[in-house]
Chains A and B, each alone.
Chain A
Amino acid sequence: MDVNGKQFKRFLERYDILAEQNSKEKAKKQHAKGKLTANERIQLLLDENTFEEVDAFVKASQTASDFGAAGNDNYGDGVIIGHGKIRGRLVFVYAQDFTVMGGSLGLVHATKIAKIQDMALKMGAPIIGLIDSGGARIQEGIASLAGYAGIFHRNVHSSGVIPQISSIMGPAAGGAVYSPSLTDFIFMTNETSYMFVTGPNVVKEVLNEEVTFEELGGANVHSTKSGVAHFIYEDEENTLRGIRKLMSYLPANNIENPPVREFNCEQPDYEEKLRDLVPDEPDKPYDVKDVIQLIVDTDSFFEVAKYYAANIVVGFARMKGKTIGIIANQPKVLAGVLDINSSNKGARFIRFCDSFNIPLLTLEDVPGFLPGTGQEHEGIIRHGAKLLYAYSDATVPKITVILRKSYGGAYCVMNSKNLGGDFNFAWPTAEIAVMGPEGAVSILYRKKLAEAEDPVLMKKELAKKYRDEIANPYVADEKGYIDEVIDPAITRRKLLSAFEALENKHVNSPSRKHGNIPL
């Protein structure tokens, strides 16, 4: 080949144009807004020198030129797609480029994303989308909407087959929000990313309500109030680091098992501190994360949706290097009660783990479902059923440790033996019963209490009696609803051997198209 020839010259020229397109001035513009460019993000996300771009030189379709889209002569059409490696493992990536027509989604842009989605699914490799887009490209009209629908369809198609992760690095407005919401996890960067179906301008026009971007759909809102975002980070570098971290817990697809971390874990199998963590007083709060830290490999707990429905704690952790998923009631927040939000949060996490062969550990200390008209009218029955369904439907190894309270319907829901729990352990502090002692004695001794001289004291004494005789783990243990009451100090050792025993668990589900989860 003649490197001075016409063909090769054109080859080089195109690279010059692309370089100019990604000029320093453009990068500066992004940087000035506290944001990185699409290229920089990919570099930070992937292992060094592993990114291979696909379709870098594709151009926007020139057919729908009415509204000036013809001016869009950029290479790539505002999205970078390709593949690379995270810790040496193949992943597929697309990153929207806000500097090209505001990252808006046109037909070609959509086709590129669809192409990488198809590749990821074919290869059984995870896909990561870095989103920074103003939404549909208005000039391209219906073609752009069709593009979205194509992406959504592929998202659903890949769901439960390969891990799909979205990171919102700038705006994601209108239709753009639905692709991320169909994926498994959403990352957001504080203060520079937004997600909303309709923006502040429309809200103002329709409802005459003044609201800022941040208040309407900022990272804070989605990680605390709506529960849309699972991870929130202070800046983009940490956000991308977070994705790398999450990937280290996940398998590449639903056939593989999760990866194993090989390192010498200092966590002792025998930990006396666990005996003191749960207070003897049933109403005293404690942080269930302290329990988690002492059971799993040191510093391996990676919490999901930390700030949303904090009355339930979910996240990944490792035991002897192997990934598990943890669902734990959090007595520190609302006494660890189950409500609509926590049921949803727990259910979705369980579904993810079950899809990707991640064993489940449930740490239970739950006083029950949150009572009240608010919860009932919003459908706690329907939402609580999701958690029940998710637990019951999951075929991965499922282990429960009852730390303290386990009452009524909440007992059933939290992976009880008859719901399919493989191993159900309880600490001596466990209280298992149809309802809490105070409630139970109010019903059982209503008359006696009404006649009592000091009903408060009497109630306390009766509650104590009830606790001693009924609400303890030994009754359940003797009836076989608990496999073993264990010394908290040996919890880790017990769990390690239980998970090992369950490693090759398989359940044959009845053949059906899919179940009908109460959505």
Chain B
Amino acid sequence: MRRSKKNTEKYIALSAEGKKFEFRDILNGEVKVNNKTQKIKFRQNNGLNFIIYKNKKYLVDILEKDQNKYEIIVNGIGHSFTVESPFSYRRKKFLEKSKQNSKTESITAPMPGKIVDVLVENHAEINKGEPIIILEAMKMQNEILSHVSGTIKNIHVKKNENVMKDDLILEVEK
């Protein structure tokens, strides 16, 4: 046996929205939904990957994966999942509990583009929903709003700077 001992019978997939799915013996291509076992089949066609489930065809794609973090596309809609083992799932829950009192929140660029204007200053108070920067993407100027209330801590961008998606714009202290 040239593999380490692992619990490979059960996997837990957690969505970014907190949905939880459990799969047993997943490589068999079966899922249990409401105690009924359903077959899931993979089809490759013309460079596209499909899943056949309950006689329906779904276009699927793995957009990104980083260790156990997945970004999956099903019929054009993206879903973020982390895949956990029973142990790592418990660990995750434990760490979440102990982390709930974190103080700073980051605001990141929702799309790639150019910073046209920074509307806030360091140490300023900001309320949820107030605009913080104007970002130009695809020739449209978009106001980026704060999703938290608090004090602006660090502004990481400057006017006329280009940002990529998910680049840190600033941090807000709650």
Evaluate contact between B2 and A233: CB separation under 8 angstroms.
Answer: no
Tell me the minimal C-beta distance from A28 to chain B in angstroms.
11
A34 within 8 A of B: yes
- Find out whether the CB atom of A87 lies under 8 angstroms from the CB atom of B2: yes
Contact of B1 among A34, A36, A43, A48 (CB under 8 A): A48
Chain A binder among B25-33, B86-94, B144-152? B86-94
Cβ contacts under 8 Å, A44 to chain B? 4-6
The residues in B between 84 and 130 inclusive whose CB is less than 8 angstroms from any CB of A are: 84-85, 87-88, 90-92, 94-95
CA distance A49 to B3 in the complex (A): 10
Whole-angstrom CA separation of A32 from B91 in the bound complex: 8
Any chain B CB within 8 A of the CB of A235?
yes
Contact, CB under 8 Å: B3 / A48 = yes
Residues facing A in B66-86 (CB within 8 A) are 67-69, 82, 84-85
Contact check, B1 vs A49: say whether CB atoms are below 8 A apart. Answer: yes
Cross-chain contact A244 with B67 (CB below 8 angstroms): no
Whether B68 lies near A31 (C-beta < 8 A) is: no
Chain A CB count within 10 A is highest, among B4, B5, B69, B95, for B4
Select one of B2, B3, B68, B90 contacting A234, CB under 8 A: B68
Residues on B with C-beta less than 8 A from A31 are 87, 90
Would you call A238 and B88 a contact (CB within 8 A)? yes
Closest CB in chain A relative to B65 CB, distance in Å: 10
Please name all residues of chain B whose beta carbon is closer than 8 Å to the beta carbon of A236 when the two chains form the complex: 88, 91
CA distance A234 to B92 in the complex (A): 9
Q: Quick check: B90 and A238 within 8 Å, CB to CB?
A: no
- Is B67 touching A234 in the complex (CB atoms < 8 A)? yes
Would B95 and A47 count as touching, CB distance under 8 A? no
**Cβ of A35: which chain B residues have Cβ within 8 Å of it?**
91
**Does A506 sit within 8 A of B, measured CB to CB?**
no
CA distance A34 to B3 in the complex (A): 24
The answer to whether B90 and A237 touch across the interface, beta carbons within 8 angstroms, is no
* A-side contacts of B69, CB under 8 Å: 234
Inter-subunit contact A47/B6 (CB<8 Å): no
**Are B68's CB and A34's CB within 8 A?**
no
Nearest B residue to A43, CB-CB: B5
Question: In the complex the two chains form, is A47's CB within 8 Å of B1's CB?
Answer: yes
0 or 1 for each of A233-261: is its CB under 8 Å from B? (1 = yes): 11111101000100000000000000000
In the complex, the chain A residue whose C-beta lies closest to that of B88 is A235
8 Å CB interface, A8-51 against B: 31-36, 43-49
From A33, A36, A233, contact of B94 by CB (8 A): A33
Q: How far is the CA of A47 from the CA of B1 in the complex (A)?
A: 7
Contacts of B87 in A (CB 8 A): 31, 36, 235, 237
Instruction: Please report the C-alpha to C-alpha distance between residue A48 and residue B97 in the assembled complex, in whole angstroms.
Output: 33
Task: Choose among A36, A87, A238 the residue that contacts B67 (Cβ–Cβ < 8 A).
Answer: A238
A46 CA / B91 CA spacing, docked (Å):
22
* A237→B2 contact, CB < 8 A: no
**Chain A residues in 8 Å Cβ range of B82:** 234
A391 to chain B: closest CB distance in Å? 30
CA distance A46 to B2 in the complex (A): 9
Contact A45:B94 (CB < 8 A) given known A234-B88, A238-B68 = no
State whether A34 and B95 are in contact (beta carbons under 8 Å apart), knowing that A48-B5, A234-B88, A244-B4 are contacts in the complex: yes
A115 to chain B, nearest CB (A): 24
CB distance from A89 to the nearest CB of B (A): 9
**Most A-side CB within 10 Å, residue of B1, B2, B3, B91:** B91
- Interface membership of A494, Cβ < 8 A: no
In the bound complex, how far is the Cα of B67 from the Cα of A35, in angstroms? 19
For the complex formed, measure the closest distance between the CB of A27 and the CB atoms of chain B, giving whole angstroms: 11
Cβ proximity bits B1-42 to A, threshold 8 Å, 1 near / 0 not: 111111000000000000000000000000000000000000
Q: What's the minimum C-beta distance from A418 to chain B, rounded to whole angstroms?
A: 37
The reply on A438 being an interface residue by CB < 8 A is: no
Alpha-carbon distance between A191 and B4 when the two chains are bound, in angstroms = 24
B67 touches A47 (CB 8 A): no
Min CB distance, A316 to chain B, in Å?
A: 16
14 new A-B contacts, CB < 8 A, other than A47-B1, A48-B4, A234-B69, are A31-B87, A32-B94, A33-B94, A34-B94, A44-B4, A46-B4, A47-B2, A191-B95, A192-B95, A233-B67, A234-B82, A235-B84, A235-B87, A240-B4
Pick 24 A–B contacts, CB within 8 A, sort by A. A31-B87, A32-B94, A34-B90, A34-B91, A34-B95, A43-B4, A44-B4, A44-B5, A47-B3, A48-B5, A49-B1, A192-B95, A233-B67, A234-B69, A234-B82, A235-B68, A235-B84, A235-B87, A236-B88, A237-B85, A237-B87, A237-B88, A238-B68, A238-B88
6 cross-chain pairs, A with B, having the tightest CB-CB distances, nearest first: A34-B91, A235-B88, A48-B5, A88-B2, A48-B1, A34-B94
